Amino acid sequence: MKNSDLHPLDGLRGLKLSHLRLMAELRSLGRLGLAAEQIGMAQPAASRLLAEVEAIVGHPVHERDGRSLRLTAVGMALARRAERIQLELKDASREISEAIAGTEGHLRVGSVTGPALSQLLPVLRRLRLESPGISVEVVVATSDQLCDQILTGRLDFALGRVPARLYGQFDLTPLGEEPLGLVVRRGHPLLLKPDVTLEDTLAHDWVMPDDETLLSQTVLRWLANAGLPPPRRQFSTSSFLFTLAMLKDTDSVAPLALPVVDSFTDGVSMPFVQVPIDLGLSVEAYGLMRRADTRLTALAHRVAGMIMAPAHA
């Protein structure tokens, strides 16, 4: 079968990157010798390459114009595409380099609520300024849910605590404890008291997760050690948004991580206030969790390092 009997796309499949580089340079420079020098080959080799292009395409792609070379309409069409392909390859090379360096790509990270604000958010703000080519998906959930998503590959890593049932499946780098405070709505009756006590707070409903969660277990054990009864709880929820909604519309009290407390009680314009009691209470240490049998991508490794740096300084 002759080249002229082939569909044009069938013939172009024989083109190599060296062919395309030559055509792109010919359009730019107009002389075979200069084009050959630009791509690092001798002029005879470039002549053979040009002959291969015409054999593959099945039409002349150039004609002589004195000492210069002029591309035909077919040659010009091919050269324009060749230039575009060269640009795409340069962009691909840049993206690959950035991915290797951790300055480009997509990150999927999770966190329990407190560290999401105290550890993760400052790093994401910094990333936004330093590496605008990075996109990040953030999941805020319980440690159990985060671990399950790491194991299924849904998350690169997360900030939380590894449940006992999953010991051995994760590498955990400790980052710190999670101190707690009590939050109420602005204008709450407790805030009218000159000296608020824990007994005063127990006269109101508390909004907490169910008893199986680490936060509730920590609070209930702490109250019992202080000789106090468990709080009255009409509603139990692990939803942070539902907790805030309950606080806003009722006289409920909620124990929350101090970074959360600080974020939502900072300033008179905020609808929530921290109860002026120093609990001296923290949930057990959390850390950066990743699956034990995998390596982090360059981007995930870079962001993990940024998160861990302040804790290990």
pLDDT score of 4 more than 50: no
Q: Is residue 42 part of a domain?
A: yes
User: Please, which pLDDT band fits residue 1 given cuts at 50, 70 and 90?
Assistant: very low
222 and 197 assigned to the same domain: yes
User: Please, which pLDDT band fits residue 267 given cuts at 50, 70 and 90?
Assistant: confident
Number of domains within the chain: 2
181 and 297 assigned to the same domain: yes
- Maximum Cα interatomic distance, the chain, rounded to a whole number of Å: 102
121 and 250 assigned to the same domain: yes
Q: 71 - beta bridge partners?
A: 62
151 and 274 assigned to the same domain: yes
Q: Is residue 119 part of a domain?
A: yes
Task: Please check whether residue 258 is in contact with residue 179, taking contact to mean a CB–CB distance below 8 angstroms.
Answer: yes
Q: Is residue 311 part of a domain?
A: no
User: Please, which pLDDT band fits residue 312 given cuts at 50, 70 and 90?
Assistant: low
**What pLDDT score was predicted for residue 84?**
83
**What pLDDT score was predicted for residue 94?**
62
120 and 254 assigned to the same domain: yes
**49, 82, 100: which is the final residue of a domain?**
100
Domain that holds residue 84: 3-100
**What pLDDT score was predicted for residue 198?**
92
Report how far residue 49's alpha carbon sits from residue 36's, in angstroms, rounded to the nearest whole number. 10
Q: Which residues contact 178 (CB under 8 A, 6 or more apart)?
A: 112, 114, 115, 257, 258, 282, 283, 284, 285, 286
CA neighbor of 244 nearest in space, from 202, 186, 159: 186
**What pLDDT score was predicted for residue 279?**
86
Q: Is residue 312 part of a domain?
A: no
**What pLDDT score was predicted for residue 105?**
80
Q: Once rounded to an integer, what is the mean pLDDT over residues 293-308?
A: 87
pTM higher than 0.85: no
Percent of all residues in the chain with a pLDDT value above 90, rounded to a whole number: 49
Report how far residue 190's alpha carbon sits from residue 302's, in angstroms, rounded to the nearest whole number. 45
87 and 116 assigned to the same domain: no
71 and 148 assigned to the same domain: no
Percent of all residues in the chain with a pLDDT value above 70, rounded to a whole number: 93
Supply the CATH number for residue 177's domain.
3.40.190.290
**What pLDDT score was predicted for residue 6?**
47
162 and 214 assigned to the same domain: yes
**100, 120, 140: which is the final residue of a domain?**
100
Cα torsion angle, 281, 283, 286, 292, sign:
positive
| 158 compared with 265, residue with greater pLDDT | 158
The letter for the amino acid at 236 is: S
Report how far residue 82's alpha carbon sits from residue 219's, in angstroms, rounded to the nearest whole number. 67
**100, 120, 143: which is the final residue of a domain?**
100
10 and 57 assigned to the same domain: yes
**What pLDDT score was predicted for residue 313?**
57
Q: Is residue 201 part of a domain?
A: yes
Q: Is residue 143 part of a domain?
A: yes
180 and 57 assigned to the same domain: no
Q: Is residue 313 part of a domain?
A: no
200 and 287 assigned to the same domain: yes
pLDDT tens for 168-211 read 899 999 998 888 999 999 999 999 998 999 999 999 999 999 88
Supply the CATH number for residue 46's domain.
1.10.10.10
Q: Is residue 204 part of a domain?
A: yes
295 and 205 assigned to the same domain: yes
